[in-house]
């Protein structure tokens, strides 16, 4: 399955500014970084979570714990696709209980990934609250899920693909919209 890009939604500078703004909003909303922890959803969400932690350190000299969550085992389409979905590593080196966990993902679409992420998180402990930060909200929700922090709202067609590239994983930063090509 290929990807034919149609346009660029965010460039490197826009991604950086969006993450800086979200970091400020997280601090404002939670009155500081006291009990905040960032958990990025693999893959790409963890890259963004680490950058947000960097921003929080810069703005408020706050050391915020960062973890990576793989939601594969909690997906609702296991057994519906030809091959079992590929599994990534979960690494959350702190206790989520009592924390305000900010889930970080690259693109918010149907909301099914976030549903899975919340279930996965609950099995690891009892967070005081869960908030959701996404770089791009592209609409077409299939579950009652709403983000707390959004980098950019982008209207898309349901059959569009939105692709986020990060320097850490892909060697460059950017968000592109496009369609599936055969």
Partner 1 sequence: MIKHLLSVTQLSPEDINRVLDTAESFREVGTRVIKKVPALRGRTVVNLFYENSTRTRISFELAAKRLSADVINFSTSGSSVAKGESLKDTALTLQAMGADAIVIRHSSSGSPHTLTRWVEASVINAGDGTHEHPTQALLDLYTIREHFPSFEGLRVAVVGDVLHSRVARSNTHALVRMGAEVTLVGPPTLIPPEAQAWGVQVSHDMDEVLPKLDVCYMLRVQRERQRQQYFPSVREYSRLFGLTRERVAALPEGALIMHPGPMNRGVEIASDVADLPRSLITDQVTNGIAVRMALLYLMLGGTGEEAA
Q: Residues in the site for partner 1, rule: CB under 8 A?
A: 70, 72-74, 78-85, 87-91, 119-120, 123-125
33 vs 116 by CB, closer to partner 1: 116
Taking the complex as a whole, the smallest distance from the CB of residue 135 to partner 1 amounts, in Å, to 25
Coil vs helix vs strand at 176? strand
Which strands, in side-by-side order, build the sheet including 36-41?
66-69, 36-41, 100-108, 129-137, 149-153
Peptide bond into 43 cis (omega under 30): yes
12 vs 95 by CB, closer to partner 1: 95
| Bridge partner residues of 136 (DSSP) | 107, 152
DSSP3 helix / strand / coil % (the chain, rounded to 5): 30, 30, 40
Taking the complex as a whole, the smallest distance from the CB of residue 38 to partner 1 amounts, in Å, to 19
78 vs 129 by CB, closer to partner 1: 78
55 vs 70 by CB, closer to partner 1: 70
Coil vs helix vs strand at 73? helix
Taking the complex as a whole, the smallest distance from the CB of residue 172 to partner 1 amounts, in Å, to 26
Taking the complex as a whole, the smallest distance from the CB of residue 79 to partner 1 amounts, in Å, to 6
40 vs 151 by CB, closer to partner 1: 40
User: What ranges in the chain are assigned the alpha helix state H?
Assistant: 12-29, 45-60, 112-124, 167-170
Taking the complex as a whole, the smallest distance from the CB of residue 153 to partner 1 amounts, in Å, to 30
């Amino acid at each position: 399955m290929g990807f034919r890009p149609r346009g660029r939604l965010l460039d490197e500078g826009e991604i950086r500014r969006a993450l800086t703004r979200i970091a400020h909003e997280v601090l404002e909303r939670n009155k500081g970084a006291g009990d905040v922890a960032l958990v990025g959803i693999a893959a790409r969400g963890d890259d963004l979570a680490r950058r947000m932690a960097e921003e929080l350190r810069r703005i408020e000299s706050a050391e915020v714990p960062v973890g990576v969550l793989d939601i594969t085992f909690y997906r609702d389409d296991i057994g519906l696709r030809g091959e079992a979905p590929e599994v990534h590593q979960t690494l959350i080196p702190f206790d989520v209980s009592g924390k305000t966990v900010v889930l970080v993902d690259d693109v918010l679409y149907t909301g099914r990934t976030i549903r899975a992420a919340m279930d996965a998180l609950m099995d690891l402990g009892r967070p005081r609250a869960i908030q959701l930060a996404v770089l791009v909200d592209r609409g077409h929700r299939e579950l009652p899920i709403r983000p707390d922090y959004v980098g950019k709202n982008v209207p898309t067609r349901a059959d569009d693909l939105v692709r986020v590239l990060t320097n850490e994983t892909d060697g460059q930063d950017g968000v592109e919209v496009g369609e599936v090509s055969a």
